[in-house]
Amino acid sequence: MTSSPIVHLIQNFHVAFLDKSFFLVIYPIVLILGLLIRTLLSQELFDKPKNSYWISDQNIINKTFADHGLEIFTTLSVLIFIVRIIVSELQNFKVPLLPTSFNSKNKTIEKIKKYSKLAVIYGARYGVTYGILLILFKLKNYESVSTGGQCQPRLQNSDNVSTLSKRYLNILCSPGEEWIPGSLNISGHYFFIVTLSLSLFYELKIFLHSTMDSIDKSFEEQDDGLGLSSKLKVSIASATITTLLISLVLLVWIGTLSVTAIFYHTIREKIMGLVFGYLAPVVDYV
């Protein structure tokens, strides 16, 4: 029995793209293309879209996928962990010929140890990512303040500090004031989204390596011409849905970074944000 088209497609994506870590070059390319487009745009063509709703940091996509990026990353990380367990259980489930309470107890203990160890590994990686992000936001805050950032009376009925910055930076302006960044305002969008995106790419790579091997083995065992078992169908559906959800989020994050690369921050601030964005993934996965 040959694998289904969707499994074949996911395997190709894993082997040709994820396994070779080509995703590591996406974000420098996005930055370079953004800087190139910014250079080619006239001031008029630059100002008009920048003042539009979909380019501002108040649009629904930015407020959902950037301001709540950590929640999305956390949810997808938990989903990966759960689906990995589901696939493992479905593909490794075998009814013993002579079941005994002793064998059942031993298997239960083994599973608890196995998945506890897996949970610790996932938790440790998540903790490193979260900790480094907090340090980076503290550094951004320090640099902004030390280069002249301060609260000033608000001139318009608006707020220059994005929700993302409010949540992770120690900026406390009164209701009638707004935060004016200093001369160095490291792009929080860049290091935040690059950190989460690269970490998610690596998690997807690990996830597919584990689940697709298990599914492939099941295909070989079921090469009897009778069709796929219900367990294998659930495994394939779980892996496919998880991969599609993660891919969708990654594409949205790349689009968000593209806007930042063209319309926001100085070249130095974006480059610093990009470099900082690789720190947590390097510590966690390389």
Task: Determine what percent of the chain is predicted with pLDDT higher than 70.
Answer: 82
Question: Residue 182: how many CB atoms within 10 A of its CB?
Answer: 14
pLDDT in tens, the chain (286 residues): 445 677 778 888 888 899 889 999 999 999 999 999 999 988 877 877 877 888 887 789 988 898 899 999 999 999 999 999 988 887 664 444 445 555 667 777 888 888 899 999 999 999 999 999 999 988 888 888 788 877 777 765 555 555 566 666 555 567 677 777 777 888 888 999 999 999 999 999 999 988 877 776 666 555 555 455 677 788 888 889 999 999 999 999 999 999 999 998 899 999 999 999 999 999 999 8
pLDDT of residue 167: 61
pLDDT of residue 207: 93
Cα–Cα distance for residue pair 191/165, rounded to 1 Å: 12
Cα–Cα distance for residue pair 165/127, rounded to 1 Å: 20
Phi and psi torsions of 14, nearest 5°: -65, -50
Cα–Cα distance for residue pair 16/250, rounded to 1 Å: 17
Cα–Cα distance for residue pair 120/3, rounded to 1 Å: 33
pLDDT of residue 219: 62
The secondary structure of the chain in percent helix, strand, coil, rounded to multiples of 5, reads 75, 5, 25
Sign of dihedral through CA atoms 211, 23, 79, 106? Answer: positive
pLDDT of residue 94: 46
